[in-house]
Every structure is written in C-alpha cells, then in structure tokens.
Amino acid sequence: MSQTDIEHIKQVYAEADLLFTPAEIEAAITTMAQAITQDMRDANPVVFSVMNGGLVIAGQLLTKLDFPLEASYLHATRYRNSTSGHGLEWKVAPMIDFKDRPVLIIDDILDEGHTLVEIVEHCKAEGAASVKTAVLVNKLHDRKARPDLQADFVGLEVIDRYIFGFGMDYHGYWRNADGIYAVKGM
Ligand SMILES: O=P(O)(O)OC[C@H]1O[C@H](OP(=O)(O)OP(=O)(O)O)[C@H](O)[C@@H]1O
Ligand code: HPA
C-alpha cells in the first residue's frame, strides 16, 4: 500500500464515528460468555474462530469460557479486504475432528450472513452433533441470506453502516482498533 493510501487509512480512522467503546464491548463479551457457559458448560464442544475477523473477539471470549472445550480456527472469507461481499472462499477448513460433537463458531460480525450459513452447513455436513454461532455484532437490515437468520449468541446490535475495529477491517486495516467505529459516509 502506498503512502497516499496509508494517509487515507489514517483519515478514515480520524473521521469515523465511535459506535461502541471498549468498556461497552467488554461488557457485551462478558454477557455473551455467561450465556454460552450456561448453555454449553457440559457439552464438551469444539470451538472454531473464523479468521481473520474472529481473531479479537475469540481471543477475549475464550478466556471467559470457564469449562472444558477444544479451541481451533477455520479461515473463510467473502469480502477479501474489500467493503462488499462475494462468494465464500475457504482458505483453511476445520482441522479438529468434530464428528458427533457440538460445535460453536465464533465470528466478529453477522452481516448478510452468507459466511455463517455456509460454515454452519459445512460443519453439519461433516457430522457435527450440533452447530451454534456466536457473533460480537449483528448488523440490523433486511438483507440477511435468510429472513429468519440469527446467531445463537449476539454481543451487540449495530446499525446498517460499514464498521471496523475489534477484528473488523476497513480494506484490511484497523482490525486492531479498540472500539467499534462506522466509516464516515458509509
Ligand atoms: O455476514 P456476511 O455478509 O457473510 O459477512 C460477515 C463476514 O465478513 C467478514 O469476513 P471477511 O470475508 O471480510 O473476511 P475477514 O474475516 O478476513 O475480514 C466477517 O469477518 C464475517 O466472517
Ligand atoms: O461492516 C463490516 N465491516 C467489516 N467487515 C465486514 N464484513 C461484513 N460486514 C462488515
């Protein structure tokens, strides 16, 4: 990326609207962890974080899940560092055997939901006993892949704008932003 582009990346951050503070996100993750623990503490699940976006939420959520589980990752991408989605590309399929075991998928955002639908279908087809989903944010709009599509565990509901931070990227940048921001004008 050229110096000009980096200036654009810095400008996007400087002009963005803060939607959720680090403290609000921390509280939401704690509440999610309590709900997941209540539901899965005796389930012996395999927990997959969806790379790249799930990196930050999974890191924080996992440390609050105080029961036996196996943690791993999978890598599927639909946006490929752009701001609009295309067909899902599998980069790394799940590597832990989860046949006949409950699976929990952790991701940063449920936007249109094509990503989670495909991942859930894949895990079911590969023999998971059940598949649940946990997302840090659910974006509110009527463009879901299925009208009734919901994650089992949701941290925060977010307005229909392009957002970044806490794992979510703007053209590959600002996954490291400590807060959830909306891009100006998007
Ligand atoms: O609900 P959807 O409309 O399918 O979008 C949500 C997905 O998009 C993002 O991933 P992306 O494809 O950008 O890859 P990334 O994780 O590397 O950012 C995000 O991390 C979710 O996995
Ligand atoms: O609003 C978003 N921000 C970042 N990544 C995303 N992936 C789907 N929607 C988004």
140-158 confidence digits (pLDDT tens): 999 999 999 999 999 999 9
Ligand 2 neighbour 79 (Cβ under 6 A): yes
pLDDT for residue 1: 67
Which domain covers residue 69, as residue numbers? 3-182
- Taking the centre of ligand 2 as the mean of its atom positions, its distance from the CA of residue 42, in whole angstroms, is 33
Ligand 1 atom closest to the CA of 85, numbered from 1: 3
Q: Which of 38-47, 72-81, 111-120, 128-137 has the lowest mean pLDDT?
A: 72-81
* 153 in Cβ contact with 107 (< 8 Å): no
ipTM score assigned to the predicted complex:
0.97
Does the active-site annotation cover 108? Answer: no
* Domains held by the chain: number: 1
Of 78, 79, 137, best ligand 2 pocket probe by most atoms within 8 Å of the beta carbon? 79
The pLDDT > 90 percentage for the chain reads 88
9 membership: H or E segment, kind and range? helix 3-15
Of 81, 164, 186, best ligand 2 pocket probe by most atoms within 8 Å of the beta carbon? 164
CA distance 78 to 91: 11
Which of 111, 142, 152, 169 is catalytic? The answer is: 111
* 27 in Cβ contact with 86 (< 8 Å): no
The token pair that represents 23 in the structure block: 């403290």
* 32 in Cβ contact with 47 (< 8 Å): no
Ligand 2 neighbour 108 (Cβ under 6 A): no
Q: What is the CATH number of the domain that holds 31?
A: 3.40.50.2020
Inter-axis angle of helices 54-62 and 22-40, nearest 10: 60
- Taking the centre of ligand 2 as the mean of its atom positions, its distance from the CA of residue 16, in whole angstroms, is 15
User: What mean pLDDT comes out for the span 94-120?
Assistant: 95
| Angle, alpha carbons 4-9-10 (nearest 5°) | 95
| Angle, alpha carbons 105-109-173 (nearest 5°) | 115
Task: Identify the nearest ligand to the CA of 86 by its number.
Answer: 1
Write down the pTM of the prediction.
Answer: 0.94
- Taking the centre of ligand 1 as the mean of its atom positions, its distance from the CA of residue 164, in whole angstroms, is 11
Residue 40 above 70 pLDDT? yes
Q: What residue type is 113 in one-letter code?
A: G
pLDDT band of residue 99 (cuts 50, 70, 90) is very high
